[in-house]
């Protein structure tokens, strides 16, 4: 008998019919002799509807209140799922984040899991219950409700799996697994059977819809994560610590694992900044205070004591970021602020790049051969990222997918 | 500076516009120098929508899960109200039933408030917050969420007011106060300026939309309750312990205070029951086990060792009640079960009846003069109730309203 944690996303729970289907899948897992804990997101577009409601009474809804409001979406879906399971004859019980022992920091809207007390879940499992946990939410030491930010249900699921020492955490979603590239952009993208935590972390940060914090948790607690479709019985992709890529040094290791793409990118350039110590801190601290994360940063070499500073933010943060930057740049003596939002991030990712050379030059050569201009470049140990024009993204991604030998047969998958 | 508890019902919170209007009223109460605690119901038809959702996945939704599900309706409305107040510049904070310290029994769906720990509310008031409490819900000692049954937000409000020793509890609703009769049935019904707890208790049990448990709480803790309109500034009706009726013995005391009507009535007759000890218990215990409350009970004198037993239940409980009774009556040796649902309850209520005579005979005479047949009769110390045909209810209510000198000028009120 294994202990399995399953997570179902909002699109898998959009209607009563979806919920009944998922209840059937959960029941079969239980019937196979497993102990089952299920983490659910809010049904369909519930979260967006609640945000709309809040914005209809307040221009800038209070974040503490917003968290309580949004947490109701998962309370609804977990109780409905428990009811559906009970009507199929299973003993099921729903638990809120607080009841499930999810303790978080007090950063409303983007709280982090600070601790996990699995006692209540354990006692419900001991009573032969299927336990349905409301994802995306937790509670502070002062018993205020928090949410974990978009994708937070993934984090709940992995945290629960880690705390329960579950055999694995199964994340069911509307795609069949992790691909070598986004199949909507690269028709020859192939589904991976497995992928390492580090590679997945880079992919998740750079386009794949999986909360990076959940991958980190899986890595730290060595909890394997299976990503698979909630509607078919395909094998999905296993994210885990020891992949074939690490074991089988040679042909497989020495390669790029996938191409990541992201269009939620905008660029801000501050021109003619006087180059003196503290400029970067003065610029980026107020952005951090507003919860705006800055990604790629390029500072040109100084000419005559003045420099240009360019950086990217999420496109959805651009308006707020520009507002902050313009205010700060006035203190720099009227430096000019230029923004652009028709950009995209394109990355090659792979642990194979860790100790090898030639990947960057091959990437740049491939893009040049395809007449794609690189606006900015940034790298990590297992990733090289270029900022390119959004209109050239698909062509660029396909070219790199071919160049790094990732192409499979043309796929009909649309993600 | 007074401490005021206000309660707003679902129809006063149906849309964002309603909520903004109510937020304005709450803000004005705070601006007048009061400490304000507000108890809210779920917005508009939220509760019915959630019940529909539950019934779309389960024929008989589990009651524990149902309570968590329904509790989300008030969580939504209390956070939205707090946001609306904050956007008007007030410091407001929402609290769930659990956070507000509402401790209940474990009777899911119809839990009773077992205790109230006002510490969190007090500390938020000390921090100059307007406190918005989710009505209708509480938490058991095991931290499971419960609901208090329909109208439970009234009970929350009075319990909070009692625990905080508030000056009074103001219940804002879609009617202007308590009337001598339902204005939709009796056009000459008059709004009462005040009414005693005992009278209100009888009216609330017999038709007026106010949770009887909330009146009991107000009576026990001597907390005055003002019922008034959420949309105009009319004076409403004050429900309290010492009314003019008690003080001014004589003309005023010696009268009926109001006419109560209720059409949620059905009748069950079990014929030819063998008359032996334990029959009534055998019949009514299984009904109580199912949470079906039995109201008027009449047992005919026994003829040849057999008797007829007739009683009323809520019309909405009739199907379930008939099922239980038919099962039990098979054990009585095939006693015949007959039901009827086209009935109504009609009551005269008044503390003036407590030590006086002639009210019952005047009621029966008035109904007889109007050719209205009485099917069953039951009385309490301050109430006389007749079961009549539903089709005759309005005519009967108007006749009694006139006969007991309650008529005012014809009103345009429609309730």
Nearest Cβ partner for B58 among A58, A86, A93: A86
Contact (CB<8Å) A57/B99: no
pLDDT tens track for B123-146: 999 999 999 999 999 999 989 999
Q: Residue A142's closest chain B neighbor by CA? A: B99
How is domain A3-174 classified at the CATH fold level? Carbamate kinase (3.40.1160)
Edge-to-edge strands, sheet with A237-240: A92-95, A130-134, A35-40, A3-8, A168-173, A225-229, A237-240, A194-196
Q: What is the pLDDT of residue B108?
A: 93
Half-sphere exposure of B336 (CA within 13 A, CB side): 6
Region A158-162: mean pLDDT is: 96
Q: Residue A65's closest chain B neighbor by CA? A: B79
Asked if A71 has any chain B CB less than 8 Å from its own CB, the reply is yes
Q: Residue A24's closest chain B neighbor by CA? A: B57
Q: What is the pLDDT of residue A242?
A: 66
Asked if B87 has any chain A CB less than 8 Å from its own CB, the reply is yes
Interface predicted TM-score (ipTM): 0.74
Contact (CB<8Å) B57/A96: no
Asked if A56 has any chain B CB less than 8 Å from its own CB, the reply is yes
- Beta-carbon contacts of residue B28 (< 8 Å; ≥ 6 apart): none
SS3 B297: strand
What does the mean pLDDT of chain A come to? 88
pLDDT tens track for B20-29: 999 999 999 9
141-160 in chain A: CB under 8 A from chain B: 143-145
pLDDT tens track for B39-81: 999 999 999 999 999 999 999 899 999 999 999 999 999 999 9
C-alpha to C-alpha distance for B174 and B17, rounded to whole angstroms: 15
Region B81-98: mean pLDDT is: 97
Domain A258-403 has CATH 1.20.1250.20: no
Region A63-71: mean pLDDT is: 96
pLDDT tens track for A211-233: 888 998 999 999 999 999 988 88
Tally C-beta pairs within 8 A across A and B: 112
Which 8-state DSSP code applies to residue A191? Answer: B
Contact (CB<8Å) B96/A68: yes
Contact (CB<8Å) A53/B80: yes
CA distances from A387 to A363, A377, A401, B263 (A): 12, 6, 17, 71
pLDDT band of B244, cuts 50, 70, 90: low
Give the N- to C-terminal CA distance of chain B in Å, as an integer: 34
Contact (CB<8Å) A83/B93: no
Q: What is the pLDDT of residue A413?
A: 47
Among A248-252, A255-259, B299-303, B390-394, the range of highest mean pLDDT: B390-394
Chain A CB contacts of B74 under 8 Å are: none
Region B277-303: mean pLDDT is: 79
- Alpha carbon dihedral A237, A238, A242, A243, in 10-degree steps, equals -20
Q: What is the pLDDT of residue A205?
A: 62
Distance from CA of B63 to the nearest CA of A (A): 9
Chain A CB contacts of B23 under 8 Å are: 57
Closest CA to B71 of A56, A96, A92: A96
Q: What is the pLDDT of residue B242?
A: 66
Q: What is the pLDDT of residue B415?
A: 39
Asked if A42 has any chain B CB less than 8 Å from its own CB, the reply is no
pLDDT tens track for A323-363: 999 988 887 776 789 999 999 999 998 877 766 678 888 89
- % of chain B surpassing 90 pLDDT: 57
Statement: residue B113 has pLDDT above 60:
yes
Asked if B133 has any chain A CB less than 8 Å from its own CB, the reply is no
Contact indicator for B157, B210 with CB cutoff of 8 Å:
no
Edge-to-edge strands, sheet with B294-299: B294-299, B306-313, B258-274, B336-349, B383-389, B376-380
Q: What is the full DSSP assignment across A248-311?
A: STTTTTSS--EEEEEEEEEEEEEEEEE--TTHHHHHHHHHHHTTPPEEEEEEPPPBTTEEEEEE
Chain B CB contacts of A79 under 8 Å are: 54, 65-66, 68-69
Least confident of A274-278, B111-115, B324-328: A274-278
Q: B38: part of which helix (H) or strand (E)?
A: strand B35-40
Asked if A19 has any chain B CB less than 8 Å from its own CB, the reply is yes
Chain A CB contacts of B75 under 8 Å are: 68-69, 71-72, 75
- % of chain A surpassing 70 pLDDT: 93
Is there a shared CATH topology between the A3-174 domain and the A258-403 domain?
Answer: no
Q: Residue A50's closest chain B neighbor by CA? A: B76
pLDDT tens track for B356-386: 678 888 898 999 999 999 888 887 778 888 9
Contact (CB<8Å) B84/A58: yes
Nearest Cβ partner for A68 among B16, B75, B87: B75
Q: Where are the domains of chain B?
A: 3-174, 258-403
Distance from CA of A124 to the nearest CA of B (A): 13
A290 alpha carbon, distance to own chain's centre: 20
- Alpha carbon dihedral B388, B390, B394, B399, in 10-degree steps, equals -10
Q: What is the pLDDT of residue B412?
A: 52
Question: How many CB atoms are located within 10 Å of the residue B118 CB?
Answer: 18
Contact (CB<8Å) A83/B66: yes
Q: What is the pLDDT of residue A160?
A: 96
Least confident of A19-28, B186-195, B377-386, B393-402: B377-386
Which 8-state DSSP code applies to residue A61? Answer: -
Q: A369: part of which helix (H) or strand (E)?
A: helix A359-369
Which 8-state DSSP code applies to residue B215? Answer: H
Whether the model clears a pTM of 0.90, i.e. scores above it, the answer is no
CA distances from A68 to A214, B96, B130, B142 (A): 22, 9, 17, 21
Nearest Cβ partner for B143 among A64, A72, A99: A99
pLDDT band of A268, cuts 50, 70, 90: very high
Map B123-173 to HEC letters: HHHHCCCEEEEECCEEECCCCCEEECCCCHHHHHHHHHHHHCCCCEEEEEE
C-alpha to C-alpha distance for A13 and A230, rounded to whole angstroms: 10
pLDDT band of A124, cuts 50, 70, 90: very high
**Residue B149, Ramachandran bin (φ over 0: left; ψ between -120 and 50: alpha; else beta):** left
Closest CA to B134 of B117, B144, B148: B148
Statement: residue A245 has pLDDT above 60:
no
Statement: residue A43 has pLDDT above 50:
yes
Mutate to test the interface with B, among A16, A24, A65 (most CBs of B within 10 A): A65
Nearest Cβ partner for A57 among B16, B54, B94: B16
Asked if B62 has any chain A CB less than 8 Å from its own CB, the reply is yes
Asked if A82 has any chain B CB less than 8 Å from its own CB, the reply is yes
Q: What is the pLDDT of residue B247?
A: 43
Q: Residue B91's closest chain A neighbor by CA? A: A62
Contact (CB<8Å) A68/B94: yes
Chain A CB contacts of B53 under 8 Å are: 16, 76, 80
Q: Which residues of A275-311 are buried (b: 16+ CB within 10 A; e: fewer)?
A: beeebeeebbeebeeeebebbbebeeeeeeeebbbbb
Higher-confidence residue of B248 and B184: namely B184
SS3 B24: helix
Statement: residue A19 has pLDDT above 90:
yes
Distance from CA of A25 to the nearest CA of B (A): 15
What does the mean pLDDT of chain B come to? 88
Give the tokens for residue A30: 């239980």
C-alpha to C-alpha distance for A322 and A335, rounded to whole angstroms: 13
- H helices of B143-253, in order, are 152-163, 197-205, 212-220, 244-247
Mutate to test the interface with A, among B69, B90, B143 (most CBs of A within 10 A): B69
Asked if B79 has any chain A CB less than 8 Å from its own CB, the reply is yes
pLDDT band of B19, cuts 50, 70, 90: very high
Distance from CA of B89 to the nearest CA of A (A): 11
Least confident of A74-83, A191-200, A385-394, B64-73: A191-200
Q: Which residues of A219-234 are buried (b: 16+ CB within 10 A; e: fewer)?
A: beeebbbbbbbbbeee
Asked if B61 has any chain A CB less than 8 Å from its own CB, the reply is yes
Q: Residue A143's closest chain B neighbor by CA? A: B99
SS3 B327: helix
**Residue B82, Ramachandran bin (φ over 0: left; ψ between -120 and 50: alpha; else beta):** alpha
C-alpha to C-alpha distance for B318 and B265, rounded to whole angstroms: 9
Mutate to test the interface with B, among A68, A124, A132 (most CBs of B within 10 A): A68
Give the tokens for residue B221: 């803790």
Q: What is the pLDDT of residue B205?
A: 62
C-alpha to C-alpha distance for A93 and A258, rounded to whole angstroms: 40
Contact (CB<8Å) A57/B143: no
Statement: residue B414 has pLDDT above 50:
no
Contact indicator for B165, B221 with CB cutoff of 8 Å:
no
Distance from CA of A168 to the nearest CA of B (A): 27
């Amino acid at each position: 008998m294994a202990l399995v944690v399953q997570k179902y996303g909002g699109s898998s729970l959009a209607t009563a019919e979806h919920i009944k289907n998922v209840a059937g899948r959960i029941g079969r897992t239980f019937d196979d002799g497993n102990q089952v804990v299920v983490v659910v997101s809010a049904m369909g577009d519930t979260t967006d509807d609640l945000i709309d409601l809040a914005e209809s009474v307040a221009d800038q809804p209070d974040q503490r209140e917003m968290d309580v409001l949004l947490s109701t979406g998962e309370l609804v879906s977990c109780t409905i799922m428990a009811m559906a399971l009970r009507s199929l004859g299973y003993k099921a019980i729903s638990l809120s984040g607080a009841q499930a022992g999810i303790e978080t920091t007090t950063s409303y809207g983007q709280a982090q899991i600070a601790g996990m007390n699995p006692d209540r879940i354990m006692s419900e499992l001991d009573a032969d219950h299927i336990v349905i946990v409301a994802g995306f939410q937790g509670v502070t030491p002062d018993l205020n409700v928090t949410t974990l930010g978009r994708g937070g249900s993934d984090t709940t699921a992995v945290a629960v799996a880690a705390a329960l020492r579950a055999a694995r955490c199964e994340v069911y979603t509307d795609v069949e697994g992790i691909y070598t590239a986004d199949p909507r952009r690269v028709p020859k993208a192939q589904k991976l059977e497995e992928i390492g935590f580090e590679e997945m972390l880079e992919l998740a940060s750079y386009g794949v819809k999986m909360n990076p914090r959940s991958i980190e948790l899986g890595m730290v607690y060595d909890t394997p994560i299976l990503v698979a479709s909630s509607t078919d019985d395909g094998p999905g992709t296993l994210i885990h610590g020891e992949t074939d890529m690490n074991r089988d040094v040679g042909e497989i290791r020495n390669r790029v694992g996938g191409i990541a793409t992201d269009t939620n990118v905008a660029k801000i350039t501050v021109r003619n900044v006087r180059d003196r110590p503290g400029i970067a801190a003065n610029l980026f601290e107020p952005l951090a205070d507003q919860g705006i994360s800055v990604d790629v940063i390029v500072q040109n070499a100084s000419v005559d004591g003045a420099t240009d500073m360019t950086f990217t933010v999420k496109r959805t943060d651009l308006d707020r970021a520009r507002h902050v930057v313009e205010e700060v740049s006035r203190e720099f003596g009227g430096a000019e602020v230029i923004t652009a939002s028709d950009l995209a991030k394109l990355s090659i990712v792979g642990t194979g790049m860790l100790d090898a050379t030639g990947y960057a030059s091959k990437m740049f050569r491939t893009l040049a051969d395809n007449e794609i201009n690189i606006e900015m470049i940034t790298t990590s140990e297992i990733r090289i990222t270029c900022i390119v024009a959004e209109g050239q993204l698909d062509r660029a991604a396909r070219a790199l997918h071919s160049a790094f030998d990732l192409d499979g047969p043309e796929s009909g998958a649309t993600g």
